[in-house]
Amino acid sequence: MTDVVLLGIGLMLIFEGIMPFALPAVWRATLLKIANMTDRQIRIFGFCSLMAGLFICLMV
């Protein structure tokens, strides 16, 4: 069980690191756009991401 959690964290870090490594200017511009979003918009985006992740996990 611990191995699966560590594998999941490792994969998340790999995916999270692809954008800043490959396209740092695009990544920076995206973060600036996110910083200008309202709390409600960020919550909706976060909820949709959470649901998509949950769905993927349930399908696997």
How far are the Cα atoms of 12, 29, 31, 44, 49 from residue 25, in angstroms, in the given order? 21, 6, 10, 25, 23
Average pLDDT over residues 2-27: 93
Q: pLDDT value at position 47?
A: 96
What whole-number distance in Å separates Cα of residue 45 and Cα of residue 11? 21
- 41-54 pLDDT, tens per residue? 999 999 999 999 89
pLDDT averaged over every residue in the chain:
93
CA pseudo-torsion sign 15, 19, 20, 21: positive
Q: pLDDT value at position 16?
A: 92
Q: pLDDT value at position 21?
A: 96
pLDDT exceeds 90 at position 28: yes
pLDDT exceeds 80 at position 1: no
